[in-house]
Amino acid sequence: MENSAICKMLNIRYPIFQGGMAWISDAELAAAVSNAGGLGVIAAGNAPPEWLEEEIYKIRKLTDKPFGVNIMLMSPFKDAVAEAAAFLEVPVIISGAGSPGKYMDMWKSKGAKVFPVVPTVTMAIRLERIGADGLICEGTEAGGHIGELTTMSLVPQVVDAVRLPVIAAGGIADARGFAAALMLGASGVQIGTRFLTAYECNVHPSYKKAILDAKDTDAVVSGRSTGHPVRCIKNRLTSKLKKMEKTGASIDEIEKEGAGKLRLAAIDGDIKSGSVMAGQIAGLVKSEASCEEIITELVHNTHTLIKSYQTKELFNV
Ligand code: TUI
């Protein structure tokens, strides 16, 4: 695993990307993941460029390892943060929630490796043509803003359609998910929800508790009717949004109700009225641990799992 093409391309030890979670993935979390051999990622989210610049200065003090920045393309600051990431020569740039086409040349001219999140095969092919270095295929199991296709369906179809390395995301939190992603043809994984309960994750303790308490059916989707579906842990806010969607509230009214609610949950710890974004795999996350423990266990158990399958009698062929 350590000598895979993707690890060589990015100069990382393990093909494990930490999910860029808006308001949550800061320099401290990203540095802890990078120091443990994965790719730590700072999420620009809706933050202004000054915030991102500060986090980039911080991470360079905390680690000498490569790291990534996630640029969320629905942000009002997207142009400015895209430029800041290029100017500060961020080694890996991940884009989400839109097409990064217009930034591609700028990022690549500064030596960045670019990994857009793609929700479909069509977009994967388009981004390969314009110079992406790899793709993140994020299934609808993921937390936050999501596409339609599941990880299980999306990953192998993109793997067959492009020559680029593919990182699987959505629904992966342990070695079984990691091994399954490799079986689908992925070169690595992106993991978000599992890192929410990392010791180095600065999300509010109430948010961590909501993840630890979540069961399989708790991560629900709101906003399908607005065209911006978002997966969060069920609470007063998701019930309200569901009711608004049922009773035919306008897109504007629904979007207004959701605005600013991630900050309310992640920073202020209001997990009843805030947006507790998390993936369907939250029900599997039952402990807090350091990023080093999370990554070491993932790698060790994935290795053991795959080896054990080589000697298992599965069925008569
Ligand atoms: O971006 C994410 N997940 C996110 S962003 C986010 S911040 C937020 N805050 C409040 C409300 C809504 C969002 C929370 N979670 N994941 C990557 C991702 N990208 N998922 C889906 C996509 C995507 C969707 C459409 C990528 C490209 C795309 O292209 C459409 C087009 O053709 O432009």
pLDDT tens across 64-105, in order? 999 999 999 999 999 999 999 999 999 999 999 999 999 999
Q: Quick one: average pLDDT of 263-285?
A: 98
User: Which residue's CA is minimally distant from atom 22 of ligand 1?
Assistant: 97
CA of 317 to the centre of ligand 1 (A): 43
Q: Report the alpha-carbon angle 5-33-302, nearest 5.
A: 60
Is residue 312's pLDDT more than 80? no
Is residue 129's pLDDT more than 80? yes
CA of 303 to the centre of ligand 1 (A): 32
Which atom, in ligand 1's list, is nearest to the CA of 70?
A: 1
Q: Please give the mean pLDDT across all residues of the chain.
A: 96
Q: Quick one: average pLDDT of 134-143?
A: 98
Which atom, in ligand 1's list, is nearest to the CA of 228?
A: 12
Query: What is residue 317's three-state secondary structure?
Result: coil
Q: Where does 5-202+301-310 sit in CATH, by number?
A: 3.20.20.70
| pLDDT reported for residue 311 | 76
Threshold 0.95, pTM exceeds: yes
Q: What is the pLDDT of residues 98-114, one digit of tens each?
A: 999 999 999 999 999 99
| pLDDT reported for residue 313 | 77
| pLDDT reported for residue 208 | 98
CA of 119 to the centre of ligand 1 (A): 9
User: Which residue's CA is minimally distant from atom 9 of ligand 1?
Assistant: 262
Is residue 1's pLDDT more than 70? no
Q: Are 31 and 67 within 8 A, CB to CB?
A: yes
What is the three-state SS of 178-192? HHHHHHCCCCEEEEC
CA of 144 to the centre of ligand 1 (A): 8
| pLDDT reported for residue 310 | 76
What residue segments make up the domains of the chain, in order of their start?
5-202+301-310, 205-280
Q: Which residue has the higher pLDDT, 5 or 310?
A: 5
| Protein residues whose CB sits closer than 6 Å to any atom of ligand 1 | 22, 45, 72, 96-99, 117, 119, 123, 138, 144-147, 228, 230, 262, 277
Cβ neighbour number for residue 209 with a 10 Å cutoff: 13
